[in-house]
Structure 1
Amino acid sequence: MKMSRLYDSIEPNVIDEKMLQKAVEEQGPQEELGQLAKREGIDYKDVLELQLDFRNILKIDNLWQFVNLTKLQLDNNIIEKIESLDSLVHLVWLDLSFNNIEVIEGLESLVKLQDLSLYNNRISKIENLDTLQELQVFSIGNNNITALENVVYLRKFKNLRTLNLTGNPLCENEQYSMFIAAHLPDLVYLDFRLVDENTREVAEMKYQYAIDELKQGEAQVLAKLEEEQAKEKELEYHKAAYVEYLNGPFLFESMYAEDTEAVRLAYLPGMADLLETYKNKFVSICENLFAYGLKEHEKRQAEVSTFYECLEEAIQDSQRQGIQIILDFENYNEGLLDLIQNTSSLEIAESKLVKYNEDISQLSDTLMTLEMQMVDQLEEIIKDFERNIADQVSTFIENVQGMMVQCRDLENHHHEKLLEIAINTLEKIVKSEFDEDMPDDVRLLFVDKDTIVNAVNASHDIHLLKIDNREDDIITKANSWSSSVIDEVHKKEISRNRNRVREINQYIDHLQEELDNMESLEQME
């Protein structure tokens, strides 16, 4: 183990550009290669390992440029807080030993980390490591961890094989080794020693009931997590179909969530039954829209899948034809260059060279013609696909608009009924014929006709706006998807065509180069 350095009166440092440049130069290639790197500059993106130990560093900073770093040494400094490591997502090995760290934090982004050392710090709790599921080696000795139970946290790291806790207060507990062996059954090394099978077996028996209870709790947590993940996956599918949360009362409830007048208007006579009827009919339309949306999403996905299958089949067929054309050319001209080189007749050699040159030109024309035919064929397939997608999206939008019209009709009908009830109630209050209990803030709505009408209309406007916004959201996403799918198809086809033309040209250039070399040799002779 490295021993901590005495800094005496040396001023604390922050990781700055000058320090980083010096460290990279010192640890990079030396001699001639190193001098070249210094002159041209070193791109921090190319640095995979970095040592910043024994530099009296107080604060971690300015490491964001080392995006491909896999190994980082920050040991033997005076660091108090783990921070500014978010960009180092490729880090596999991290040493923060011999510092002044009190809390484990700031490691969430380091999901590839396998080896972590926090040895000789001031940490009192193992925590905040949940995302480090690749962790295999963890050294946290010589800290202030006192509770054996805290080690149970490490059960979630299924790849953990080496653990160092030596020097922590919890190690003084006589049950320490047994407790660790029982609660971390996959651990191979504890405090630099192999966990022997005998200790593991005794530990399992000793803590059997506690472990069984722990496993039961973990199974429940896992089941809940899987359930949440399944719900999240289902929600993502619903979002892809643009109908998320329409399989229930969400839209209806959102209409009333921001409607401050709705609570007061709910006290009007007969409103409970009116609202219940309205809600049931409204939610039924939403559920129909939800089911229709999922069905249409499946149709769109099937259309895309079928299109790419046809596309790939056409491309493969063209590639097979191209390969056969090249094979026929190579078989026909096999040994021709050797024959030309070895013939004693200059006239025959020149004649065959001319013929071979014509064959190369003909091959180029044939391959390019095949590619142009491929472009034309794919253009027709893509046009059919565009029409099909446009028709599907257009039909989908029309039907969505039709269902949203039904929602608005329900809202308009509800608004008319509500306004009728409000006006009747006002008339009864004016005639002193209304004797039902009503909260004071609700009675304030009935000071005159304009007040109650304005309240009802404000509620109505909010509801219509929610319906309109949901409709616009669905239509916008459907149109956006259609555009992005078509754009992606065209981009892929342009890229495919360019690559194919490049392949043909490279092959023809290779043949032409061989021919040119042969002609040069003939001229020299």
Structure 2
Amino acid sequence: MSRLYDTVAPSVIDEEMLLKAIDEQGPKEEAGRIAKEEETEFADIGALRLDFKNILKVDNLWEFTSLTKLQMDNNIIEKIEGLDSLVNLVWLDLSFNNIEVIENLENLTKLEDLTLYNNRISVVENMDTLTRLHVLSIGNNSLSSLENLIYLRKFKNLQTINLSGNPFCEDPNYKVFVVAHVASLVYLDFRLIDENTKMAAKEQYRYAIEELVADESSAENKRLEREAGETEFNKQKAAYVENLNGPHLFESLFSDDPEAQKLASLPGVDELLLTYKEKMVGICRQVFNFGLQEHEKRQKEVNEFYSCIEEAKTENKEMGTSKIEDFNKYRKKCLSDLTVISDAKVLDSKLAEYDDDISKLWDTLMGYELQLVDQLEDTIKDFERSLADMVSNFVEFVQGLISQVRDLENIHHEKVLEIAILTLEKYVKNELDDELSEELKMLLVDKDTITSAVNASHDVHLLKIDNREDDIIQRANGWMASLMETIHQEEEVLRNRDRVKEINNYIDNLKEEIRSLELPGLQ
């Protein structure tokens, strides 16, 4: 379809275009004059029209974070892009452009109405995150496969869709196929879907729909299982004990051990490995279970701490609010009285008294804040001590269990070394030629070679064990240090700073109010 701007050079979305569009769409007359005097904040704009601008590329919209409605129809846009920051967008019109692919809409999770009418789109795709989609207009595109519309089944809120003008509309089964497969639809191609049509479509595609439902149910169950697994793993990770509820650590000892497979073929080592694995997995499970228990205790302590903090802040805020409400009642009466005093001396006295009352209010509010600071400081100190004890106990217990793992490795190493020396002696006497692998024979050159191999394997295992122990300790201590830093600096210091600023601004406004009054006694 030819467009008005086909022979005109493409436009760029720049500040000038945006300001002009906002001005054209903004309030008129006196309200418009006032709006122009104030600096335009893109972040405050709720709706924007950029239609018929000959725009080729979507760009420079990242500041419009409050935008809920964006109209960009009748341009020459070739690609959906530059919309990532428009997370509050509810309505988007990109009709009459040159778009070929639906893409880059992942962040627009609040989108309810999407218009892509009259473009060059051949596949309905890449809209999985648009779970609130209510209206979709994608007529006059290049959609040719009815099967592609099965994708729309995932949008449970989709009630209105326009598909007219696409190649597949020539298929005699087009309407019943869409109605049967997208059960949530109320309107198709601007027409209400009647109950007879719904029933006929459902009957015609009954077996296909039943199969689809079964597949969707299976996929949903797998998704839920996957999410549950991810949730559980994240919980274990937060407890610093992920992969310790099985043989993972044991198997990791040997995965990076170049000598492991060779030494495993030594006579009797296979039985040693089975015993080693069983005992080590048992200890790891103790670490795992204890870690989860301690994680729940720490989270409970953190939750109780924040609950206590919020309770203290709420109580303190209520005290301040009550004081301000009382003062405002007094303030209104005082200001009313001041306006009728004509005697300058009396007025000066009343003003001085009122100013003194404002100062007393400042003292009271600041006193409340200092009281809260002291209260929170004590609460934070108690919490930090309690948390430090919990983390310390956790670390000590884990260190004790990991020490047992290290002992198992030392015992295993001694036994393997003993078997290796004995095997070497027999090998030298030509008693084991046919029972050993070629790789093992290469280690049985002399005592130093086989001993070095066993020791190297042992060093790899100890390093793995030490690294896992260090990882648990560092993450636990790091979590506590980070949490306390956040509480002290990012939360309490900033809260206090904001509260003091709020009090000072309030007091300054009270003083400015009295200074700006036109009192007869001062004239």
TM-score calculated relative to the size of structure 1: 0.84
Aligned partner letter, 1:496: R
Residue 445 (structure 1) aligns with = 443
Distance 1:297 1:512 in 2: 52
- Closer, same or farther: CA 318–252 of 1 in aligned 2, 3 Å: same
Contact 2:50 2:71 in 1 (8 A): yes
Distance 2:353 2:20 in 1: 62
Distance 2:505 2:84 in 1: 44
Moved more, 30-39 or 363-372: 30-39
Aligned partner letter, 1:501: V
- The answer to whether the aligner puts 1:366 opposite 2:360 as a matched pair is no
Deviation at 1:12, TM superposition (A): 8.7
- The answer to whether the aligner puts 1:505 opposite 2:499 as a matched pair is no
- The answer to whether the aligner puts 1:51 opposite 2:50 as a matched pair is yes
Residue 297 (structure 1) aligns with = 295
Residue 388 (structure 1) aligns with = 386
Residue 172 (structure 2) aligns with = 174
Aligned partner letter, 1:445: L
Map 1:33-112 → 2, pairs under 5 A: 49=48, 51=50, 55=54, 57=56, 60=57, 62=59, 65=62, 68=65, 71=70, 73=72, 77=76, 79=78, 86=84, 89-94=87-92, 103-112=101-110
Deviation at 1:11, TM superposition (A): 9.8
Contact 2:62 2:84 in 1 (8 A): no
- Closer, same or farther: CA 109–327 of 1 in aligned 2, 3 Å: closer
Deviation at 1:289, TM superposition (A): 0.7
Residue 258 (structure 1) aligns with = 256
Distance 1:332 1:61 in 2: 56
Determine helix, strand or coil for the equivalent of 2:259. Answer: helix
Moved more, 31-40 or 327-336: 31-40
Residue 418 (structure 2) aligns with = 420
Contact 1:25 1:34 in 2 (8 A): no
- The answer to whether the aligner puts 1:224 opposite 2:218 as a matched pair is no
- Closer, same or farther: CA 361–119 of 1 in aligned 2, 3 Å: closer
Distance 1:100 1:238 in 2: 49
1:486-506 per-residue CA deviation (whole Å, 9 max, x = no partner) reads 122223222332333334334
Contact 1:5 1:54 in 2 (8 A): no
Aligned partner letter, 2:498: N
CA RMSD between the two structures: 3.8
Contact 1:28 1:34 in 2 (8 A): no
Q: Which 5+ residue runs of structure 1 have no aligned equivalent?
A: none
1:97-117 per-residue CA deviation (whole Å, 9 max, x = no partner) reads 556655544444443443444
Taking every aligned residue pair, what percent have the same amino acid on both sides? 53
Distance 2:8 2:310 in 1: 65
Distance 1:333 1:166 in 2: 67
Question: What is the count of residue pairs matched by the alignment?
Answer: 515
- Closer, same or farther: CA 318–265 of 1 in aligned 2, 3 Å: same
- Closer, same or farther: CA 84–249 of 1 in aligned 2, 3 Å: farther
Map 1:260-339 → 2, pairs under 5 A: 260-326=258-324, 335-339=333-337
Distance 1:66 1:328 in 2: 42
Contact 2:341 2:520 in 1 (8 A): no
Contact 1:24 1:50 in 2 (8 A): no
Distance 2:101 2:54 in 1: 21
- Closer, same or farther: CA 104–446 of 1 in aligned 2, 3 Å: farther
Moved more, 278-287 or 495-504: 495-504
Contact 1:112 1:134 in 2 (8 A): yes
- Closer, same or farther: CA 308–165 of 1 in aligned 2, 3 Å: closer
Distance 1:114 1:417 in 2: 69
Determine helix, strand or coil for the equivalent of 1:174. Answer: coil
1:76-131 per-residue CA deviation (whole Å, 9 max, x = no partner) reads 5373x656655555554555555665554444444344344444555444333323
Deviation at 1:464, TM superposition (A): 1.8
Aligned partner letter, 1:24: L
Deviation at 1:272, TM superposition (A): 1.8
TM-score calculated relative to the size of structure 2: 0.84
Distance 2:41 2:355 in 1: 47
Contact 2:51 2:72 in 1 (8 A): yes
Contact 1:100 1:122 in 2 (8 A): yes
- Closer, same or farther: CA 313–119 of 1 in aligned 2, 3 Å: closer
Distance 2:152 2:319 in 1: 59
Aligned partner letter, 1:158: K
Distance 2:373 2:206 in 1: 69
Distance 2:341 2:41 in 1: 56
Contact 1:147 1:170 in 2 (8 A): yes
Distance 1:474 1:306 in 2: 25
- The answer to whether the aligner puts 1:29 opposite 2:16 as a matched pair is no
Contact 1:11 1:56 in 2 (8 A): no
Contact 2:362 2:503 in 1 (8 A): yes
Distance 1:472 1:486 in 2: 21
- Closer, same or farther: CA 512–172 of 1 in aligned 2, 3 Å: closer
Residue 135 (structure 1) aligns with = 133
